Amino acid sequence: MADSANSARGDLKLTRITKSYGDFTAVDDLSLTIPEGSFFALLGPSGCGKTTTLRMIAGLEEPTVGSIHLGSTDITTTKPYQRPINTVFQNYALFPHLTIFENIAFGLRRRGLKDIDEAVNKVLNLVELPHLAQRKPTQLSGGQQQRIALARAIVNRPALLLLDEPLGALDLKLRRQMQIELKWIQKEVGLTFVHVTHDQEEAMTMADTIAVMNEGKIEQMGSPADLYDNPETAFVANFLGQSNLIKGSLVGTDGDSLVADLFGQKISLPRNRSHAVDSSIFAGIRPEKFRISLLQTPTSGNILSGGKIEDVSYIGVSTQYQVMMPWGQELMVFEQNDDGVAPFQIGDPVNISWEPVFTFALRGDEDAEAGTEVMPEDLDEE
Amino acid sequence: MKKISTPYLLLLPGFAFLFTFFILPIMNLAQTSTQTRIENGDTGQYEQTLRFANYFDAFIENREQFTRSFVYALIATLLALLISYPLAYALAFKAGKFKNILLVLVIAPFFTSFLLRTVAWKQILGEEGFVVPSLRTIGIISESTTLTSTSFAVIMGMTYNFLPFMTLPLYASIDRIDPRTLEASGDLYANGFTTFRRVTLPLSMPGVVAGTLLTFIPAAGDYVNAQILGSPNTKMIGNVIESRYFRVVDYPTAAALSFTLMAAILILVTLYIRKAGTEELV
């Protein structure tokens, strides 16, 4: 079975992929290149088309339109068993009738490889479970099954490893631990990982590059820091962490900065962080970038004055404030509890300030709520 | 008084039923099987003489029918398995919204009597049915060949009559397979046939074992199909027991044959389950 598709290596390239089920378009004219050796995440809410995209890469679905290339080989219609691609399935899909050893050896045996014992034992050591080789999958805990599913895939040294919400069934603590391990294993084995998740924190912890998907399209693609600091759409701004989006308009320029008017107060922002198409904008600031000060305290940078503390929640490392602004919008502010200063009280009149460099601007005609109504934590599996 | 725990009380009705309608008759049957005819007595008058040679005599006399029963039952079971497996697979994985309707159709034959359906088969396979003329036209059977009163008709009747007993356990077992394990198999370089052999079939083994047992056991003891669709040359052990009991009124032989049949089935089933090794399956 050592045909050309099976030995293909290189970047994965999706070209203008569309997948429709009747009237429903799951993936809509999507193009994407995943560089060889990277840890790539497809991030989005349930139903955004990320799993469908993954299944098309695996060969479990065929695109309605478009092509998929691995290196220079067209694999659009290649059968799953002929692709050098392996998947870690959402609920692991281990073979319940086979031992852990035979589960891991499955792919190697199908390809008629030699030295199966050695390869299996090596990967069992990598996932630190060599003592479970003769057990059956049902005798393992969720975390152990997860590692075996990973071992069963990477033992084949595929050109591409697909992970479909691999940590979704684990509890929070184990999930954090596995995130770090997965990242380490990816570096260790040097394979290309494509990871599908609805958990933005998971994507940001592990991936080099994240593509944020929404309604079958890619909203934005970039490094975690890029996406967080410089989101291009309201959906990205809200889906990755939290954002304060304030309606305003661009009124001028000042060197490399733009000047914006937010309800009569002037602020400045870097030109390269503006994604507005005309003067109407939403100015975006992350809650932890804000500083709160009492009215008489002098501050620098961008300042919005006339706020009033509406609500205070002390959560240990930080305190979260809701600040009511004169134009009737509540802004969210996270202050680190690192300065020994007593928190502000409800009803305190305050100014809020921040460094201009932390401001981004979105198109003024966007839905400021996009991406907020689908909080990742509320999502069920599929 | 010591308190009797609830689980035992709950077992009581079932046990009472089994005792009255299974254990007592079986003991009665065992007792009958070693009786001999009362000398100068009327027809059907027997006395207990503990003649265990009844078993030997009955078996030697009916070796041919015993063999035929097991051969017919085996062929019918294999045919039912070959027909049911694709059907159960399609029901579990491909039927979609028609699943429930198709399941009802599988058990629909039970709405009419077993006897009636077997008589219907006699008509289907008879000279006036459409099967024989059709097969003659395309030359599969010669002008003089008939299908009724043949072992073919008996085996077909048994296959048909016991088909749902094969299909339902198979369906239950295949339906429990996580389709993602089949996808995982394809993902791990197994083509369709290898996936079937290495994943689908092993995972459906509990259904295969249950279905073959539920088909083979009643088929081996069946006499209705052989009586309606067969001839004297296709007599099975069930027919012998039936005629010994109701026509010849030879109760001891009928009882001895019944016990021999039970023992033979029990031994075969034990060997089969050992071989199939169901306890290792999930």
> Per-residue DSSP letters for A291-312?
EEEETTS---SEEEEEEEEEEE
Q: Tens digit of pLDDT per residue, chain B (282 long)?
A: 566 788 888 999 999 999 999 999 999 999 999 998 888 877 778 888 888 999 999 999 999 999 999 999 999 999 999 999 999 999 999 988 999 999 999 999 889 998 999 999 988 888 888 888 888 888 888 887 888 888 999 999 999 999 999 999 999 999 999 999 999 999 999 999 999 999 999 999 999 999 999 999 999 999 999 999 999 889 999 999 999 998 888 999 999 999 999 999 999 999 998 887 655 443
How far is A161 from A157, CA to CA, in rounded Å? 8
pLDDT of A377 over the 70 cut: no
Best probe of the B interface among A91, A97, A120, by most B CBs < 10 A, is A97
| pLDDT number for residue B13 | 94
pLDDT of A1 over the 60 cut: no
Binding-face residues of A in 135-164 toward B, CB within 8 A: 136, 138, 152, 156
Which structure tokens are listed for A350?
A: 């305050």
Chain B residues whose CB is inside 8 A of the A85 CB are 187
B246 contacts chain A (CB < 8 A): no
pLDDT of A378 over the 50 cut: no
Best probe of the A interface among B187, B199, B200, B278, by most A CBs < 10 A, is B187
Residue A328: band (very low, low, confident or very high) from pLDDT cuts 50, 70, 90: very high
| pLDDT number for residue A196 | 94
Q: If you average pLDDT over residues A215-234, what whole number do you get?
A: 94
- For residue A31, how many other CB atoms are within 10 A of its CB? 11
Q: A10 — phi, psi (to 5°)?
A: 125, -170
The closest alpha carbon to A103, from B181, B176, B277, B281, belongs to B181
A299 contacts chain B (CB < 8 A): no
**pTM confidence score:** 0.81
Q: Is A357 exposed, middle or buried (0-12, 13-18, 19+ CB in 10 A)?
A: middle
B247 contacts chain A (CB < 8 A): no
How far is B45 from B40, CA to CA, in rounded Å? 9
What domains can you pick out in chain A, each with its CATH number?
Answer: 5-229 (3.40.50.300), 243-359 (2.40.50.140)
Are A208 and A230 in contact by the 8 Å Cβ rule? The answer is: no
Residue A3: band (very low, low, confident or very high) from pLDDT cuts 50, 70, 90: very low
pLDDT of A24 over the 50 cut: yes
How far is A269 from A262, CA to CA, in rounded Å? 12
- All residues at 6 or more sequence positions from A76 whose CB lies less than 8 Å from its CB, including other chains: A62, A63, A66, A67, A68, A69
Enumerate the domain spans of chain B.
52-276
Q: A8 — phi, psi (to 5°)?
A: -65, 140
| pLDDT number for residue A173 | 84
Which structure tokens are listed for B227?
A: 């009586």
Q: If you average pLDDT over residues A280-284, what whole number do you get?
A: 94
Task: Give the closest-approach CA distance of B197 to chain A in angstroms.
Answer: 12
Best probe of the A interface among B180, B188, B194, B201, by most A CBs < 10 A, is B188
| pLDDT number for residue B133 | 85
pLDDT of A174 over the 90 cut: no
| pLDDT number for residue B2 | 61
How far is B198 from B211, CA to CA, in rounded Å? 20
Are A126 and A188 in contact by the 8 Å Cβ rule? The answer is: yes
| pLDDT number for residue B278 | 57
- In angstroms, what CA-CA distances link B42 with A68, A83, B28, B34, B45? 89, 82, 21, 18, 6
| pLDDT number for residue B262 | 94
- In angstroms, what CA-CA distances link B224 with B12, B218, B245? 35, 11, 15
Half-sphere exposure in the Cβ direction for B249 (13 Å, CA): 6
- For residue A301, how many other CB atoms are within 10 A of its CB? 15
Task: Give the closest-approach CA distance of A110 to chain B in angstroms.
Answer: 6
Binding-face residues of B in 200-229 toward A, CB within 8 A: 202-203
| pLDDT number for residue B143 | 80
- For residue B47, how many other CB atoms are within 10 A of its CB? 10
CATH (residue range B52-276): 1.10.3720.10
pLDDT, mean over chain A: 89
E strand or H helix at B206: helix B205-221
Q: What percent of chain A has pLDDT over 90?
A: 68
Predicted confidence (pLDDT) per residue in A31-81, tens digit: 999 999 999 999 999 889 999 999 999 999 999 999 999 999 999 999 999
Q: Which of B188, B190, B281 sits opposite A86 (nearest CB)?
A: B188
| pLDDT number for residue B279 | 53
The whole-angstrom distance between residue B37's C-alpha and the CA centroid of its chain comes to 33
| pLDDT number for residue B49 | 87
**CB within 8 Å: A79 and B281:** no
Q: Which of A80, A95, A156 sits opposite B181 (nearest CB)?
A: A95
